[in-house]
Structure 1
Amino acid sequence: MPRVSHLFFQSGIVFLVIGIGMGLQMSISGVHNVTGAHAHLNLLGWVTSALFGGYYALNPAKAATRLAMVHYGVYTLGVAVMVLGLYFLLQGNASFEPLVAGGSLVTFAGVLIFAYTVFAPARTASPARPMPAE
């Protein structure tokens, strides 16, 4: 499995564990004020990261590019910042709204990088040119 796929799956699992923990905390306490952060973490953090990891596993030529690792870093950072800010915002702390906005924009940039990756042709090694006859 390409390294970027493995990283997306590892991060996705971390997001999933935290997201389930948030869900359990809401269920046990009966206070469901952070449902939005819980949903974003599970869908963007776990599901989308796993889909990215699967895509790169199926497209090793694209997974081997520097852009794939940039995609991983940008997207994962964006999701982490956005969800953290959203969690505190939904707890009633309005000062975290800029963090949510910034994280959302970084996450969107990660999605745009992935869109480019999907639509760009895969680079393949150039076939060896035959030497001209002398």
Structure 2
Amino acid sequence: MPRISRFYFSMAILYLLAGIGVGLNMAVSQDHSAASAHAHINLLGWVTSAVFGGYYALNPEKAEGWLPWSQYAVYALGLIVMLPSLYLLYSGRPEIEPLVAAGSLAVVLGVVLFAVVIFTRGRPETAAGGDAILPAE
């Protein structure tokens, strides 16, 4: 499995634990004002990170080079900024909104970079003899 997949899966499980923690906090306190942040933690942190990791695991040729790691760094940084600040925003801290916006823009950029990874052609796979496997023309 490519190293970037392990990074994504590690990040995903940490966000799953955070999402469970936020959900339990809402259940115990009966204060559901952070429900939107809870959804974002689970969908962007847990699910999307796991999907990214799975894509790179299934397409290891796409996991090589500077672009996938740049995409990871931008997306991970965006989540680190956006998700806690979103939780604080919905917990009654409106002054934190510029951080939510900055983190959100980084997350969007990370998703755009992932689209670039998907839609750019990777290096051709090679057969055991070293010849490139290319589609028939």
Q: TM-score, normalised by structure 2?
A: 0.89
Which residue number corresponds to residue 78 of structure 2?
78
Which residue number corresponds to residue 23 of structure 1?
23
1:125 Cα offset (Å): 7.5
Give the AA of the match of 2:97. E
1:80 Cα offset (Å): 1.8
Which residue number corresponds to residue 14 of structure 2?
14
Which residue number corresponds to residue 67 of structure 1?
67
Identity across matched positions, percent: 51
Structure 2: how far apart are the matches of 1:125 and 1:26?
49
Which residue number corresponds to residue 46 of structure 2?
46
1:72 Cα offset (Å): 0.9
Moved over 6 A (4+): 125-128
* Structure 1, unpaired ranges of 5+: 129-134
Which residue number corresponds to residue 132 of structure 1?
none
Which residue number corresponds to residue 135 of structure 2?
none
Structure 2: how far apart are the matches of 1:112 and 1:71?
8
Which residue number corresponds to residue 134 of structure 2?
none
* Structure 2, unpaired ranges of 5+: 132-137
| Deviating more after overlay: 98-107 vs 58-67 | 58-67
Which residue number corresponds to residue 99 of structure 1?
99
| SS of alignment partner, residue 32 of structure 1 | coil
Which residue number corresponds to residue 56 of structure 1?
56
Please provide the CA RMSD for this pair.
1.5
1:124 Cα offset (Å): 3.5
Name which one, 1 or 2, has greater alpha-carbon Rg. Answer: 1
Structure 1: how far apart are the matches of 2:77 and 2:84?
11
| SS of alignment partner, residue 27 of structure 2 | helix
Structure 1: how far apart are the matches of 2:69 and 2:124?
18
Q: TM-score, normalised by structure 1?
A: 0.91
